[in-house]
A and B are shown apart, each in its own frame.
Chain A
Amino acid sequence: MTGATISQPQTNNSELSESTGPEFGTAGKYGKYGGQYVPEVLMPALEELEEAYEKYKSDPEFLKELDYYLKEFGGRETPLYYARNLSKKYGLKVYLKREDLVHGGAHKLNNAIGQALLAKHMGKKRLVAETGAGQHGTATAMVGASFGFETVVYMGARDVERQHPNVYRMELMGTEVKPVHSGSSTLKDAINEALRDWVTNVEDTHYLIGSVVGAHPYPEIVRDFQSVIGKEARTQVLEKEGRLPDSLIACAGGGSNAMGLFYPFLKDKDVKMFAVEAGGKGLTYTKKAALHSASLCVGTEGVLQGARTKILQDKHGQILESESISAGLDYSGVGPELAHLSETGRVQACYAIDEEALEAFHELSRLEGIIPALESSHALAYLKKAAESGELGEMVVVNLSGRGDKDLDSVFKLAGRV
């Protein structure tokens, strides 16, 4: 397979929402997915947010401010690193988009900065957020401290336990972390609780949602703020290789790092895109729970937390608890745009199970001297599987969405080291 066609490189944030995407129907709908399934109390807040976003997304002053904080506070741009040892081992060129080097250790800050600036312009005093792995919570805590918001982060009790270092980090930065004990005590339940907080305090509070999920305009806003990943990667790969990559790989829970990488490449028809979900213990179920989080791969259509999308549900429409070794991917739903892109075939949904992700976690650490987050390890695990089959072509960009320091406890526990 030869190189993909080259189109014009794009500069960063000269405009947030470029028309790089396919044509969609009405605002907030991606094919049949998306929409605004929220309590009436929140509808005016969503409208206010949409208006503010429409106003600021092409406002040069706002974009200048955003770029300033992404660079000076966040440490962008991040390198597109040629992983020479992995490349040699797998027999294809592997580039890592180093989002693990963003301040805080994950891509989550890109969106948190953007939304915090929006919230500031909207006159909000308080931020609430949900977090799974604690990466989005940490990013929210960072912008909360930096921009002077009162900040509350909801986190599933199970995640509080398995991602404890991030809880300390959030608390150090002045954020109140509220453990959530309902449901499976993971990300979905944290979102429910954040929504309940927002419903109660909507007048002075901005819900800083951390992924491309929820009601319109959130999936669009988060995608746009994260698309800095793909814009940079596209420019960088053209500089280094003079052509576009054959494939992009990103892990997907809600899908923010995947949409962030993919979106600026959507019109590059020859670039394949792989969204890797958490396969957990395999794509099976108990009576009340899925043993995985693969809503794109095997979920069905439904309405969850504000959007029509693909979800894990039982035969009556009750949401199934999900499972994954990675708290950040442990979610029963997925962003509506990603559901749409997967259904049209533009993005290929795939998965890696816990064991494969762990193996990839160790492999990248040993081969490249980079400890990946367990979330990103799913993307690396799929790289390993697919490199053998040849479906990735000759050059691939993997989104290394976060670093793995937060996962050391979990990994050592699994290895029987603690």
Chain B
Amino acid sequence: MTVEISGKFAALREKGEGALIAYVMAGDPTPEATPKIVRALVRGGADLVELGMPFSDPVADGPTIQAAGGRALEAGMNPGRYFELVAGLEVDVPLICMTYYNLIFHYGPEAFVKKCRDSGISGIIVPDLPVEEAGELTAACGRHSVAPIFLIAPTTPENRVERVLSEAGGFIYLLSRLGVTGAHPGEIGASAKALLARVGTNLPKAVGFGVSTAGQAEALIRAGADAVIVGSAFVNIIASNQDPEEREELEKQLEALARELKTGIRNAAGAAAETVPESGQNPELPENRDRGLENRSNTEKFVQYGKI
């Protein structure tokens, strides 16, 4: 039961809604627990689910997700079990695989992407693979209709933005800030808003890294994001509910956080569609930081999402 990313975003747009993308590490706390965790996230309102495939040396991850990967590896998670687990998930949201390149390289990019498609995965994110080195992976993605999802950082200059966008599929992953993954409650900084404003694309824009509260989610959607990505906040809940006897409590908490985040995203929906600012403003000027709204309205008009 594969759900495509483009279809999902199109359906949400019909409803005038932003998307919640939830990340958890597959196999944390155990491979058996993951399907229930994913279903809880979807019940709470997650529109897409990113499933981490644990790697021993996750350089783009902060302590929370590093520890989750450690627990998953300890519990016996490996690429083979990952694909089995995903194939048996039976949820009606797009599933995205997030992992580091050595696991894909070792498996063979062609075989890995095919296996993703066969297991029901519709997109791949590889945080240590810039477009320069991604040729083999994107080619395989093209052959097997899996979206290669790329990241754009606050440090990415204009010419690189174009290059990244030309290779990207599914949605574009905008980093809210510099640094590694990890929950950072507090106000969404100017860099996330500036990035939303300056990246012009027909792909849905999803903002991640540091997003953990409903207020942040709402602010990002208002600033022009089509989706917010929340990982460490969910993983923190899993980390503090490791007891196998307490799985129901864990599921309840995950579902509740997903619901809260989705409510924040829905709150923003009306407001975002109403404003249509003038074009040609300088996103660097503070008064124009909300220029992302313009892109938002462009996105509204646009029918086709992505390559896939």
| Chain A residues proximal to chain B, CB less than 8 Å | 35-41, 43-45, 182-183, 188, 192, 195-196, 199-203, 301-306, 308, 311, 313, 316-319
**Contact A319/B102 with A41-B175, A199-B178 known, Cβ cut-off 8 Å:** yes
Tell whether B151 is near chain A: CB-to-CB under 8 Å: yes
Contact of A44 among B60, B156, B180 (CB under 8 A): B156
Contact of A317 among B66, B102, B150, B160 (CB under 8 A): B102
| Total A-B Cβ pairs within 8 A | 109
Taking a contact as CB atoms under 8 Å apart, the answer to whether B156 and A317 are in contact is no
Chain B residues lying within 8 Å of A36, measured Cβ to Cβ, are 130, 132-133
| Chain B residues proximal to chain A, CB less than 8 Å | 55-60, 62, 66, 73, 78-80, 101-103, 105-107, 127-130, 132-133, 150-157, 160, 164, 175, 178-180
**Contact A196/B180 with A302-B102, A304-B102 known, Cβ cut-off 8 Å:** yes
CA distance A316 to B106 in the complex (A): 7
Chain B residues lying within 8 Å of A35, measured Cβ to Cβ, are 132-133
CA distance A188 to B58 in the complex (A): 12
- B152 to A: closest C-beta gap in Å: 7
Taking a contact as CB atoms under 8 Å apart, the answer to whether A192 and B156 are in contact is no
Taking a contact as CB atoms under 8 Å apart, the answer to whether A38 and B128 are in contact is yes
Q: Which residue of A lies closest to B78 (CB)?
A: A316
CA distance A44 to B151 in the complex (A): 13
CA distance A39 to B58 in the complex (A): 11
Chain B residues lying within 8 Å of A317, measured Cβ to Cβ, are 55, 79, 102-103, 105-107
Contact of B160 among A43, A182, A192, A199 (CB under 8 A): A43
- B285 to A: closest C-beta gap in Å: 20
Taking a contact as CB atoms under 8 Å apart, the answer to whether A40 and B79 are in contact is no
Interface class of chain A by DSSP: mixed
Chain B residues lying within 8 Å of A311, measured Cβ to Cβ, are 102
**Sampled A-B contacts (5; CB under 8 Å):** A196-B179, A199-B60, A302-B106, A313-B106, A316-B80
CA distance A199 to B155 in the complex (A): 10
Taking a contact as CB atoms under 8 Å apart, the answer to whether B73 and A318 are in contact is yes
Chain A residues lying within 8 Å of B78, measured Cβ to Cβ, are 316, 318
Taking a contact as CB atoms under 8 Å apart, the answer to whether B105 and A303 are in contact is yes
Taking a contact as CB atoms under 8 Å apart, the answer to whether A44 and B157 are in contact is yes
Taking a contact as CB atoms under 8 Å apart, the answer to whether A40 and B156 are in contact is yes
Q: Which residue of B lies closest to A320 (CB)?
A: B56
Taking a contact as CB atoms under 8 Å apart, the answer to whether B57 and A188 are in contact is yes
Chain A residues lying within 8 Å of B62, measured Cβ to Cβ, are 196
Chain B residues lying within 8 Å of A316, measured Cβ to Cβ, are 78-80, 103, 106
Q: Which residue of B lies closest to A194 (CB)?
A: B59
CA distance A308 to B79 in the complex (A): 20
CA distance A317 to B151 in the complex (A): 23
CA distance A282 to B171 in the complex (A): 48
Taking a contact as CB atoms under 8 Å apart, the answer to whether B153 and A41 are in contact is yes
- A205 to B: closest C-beta gap in Å: 10
CA distance A27 to B167 in the complex (A): 21
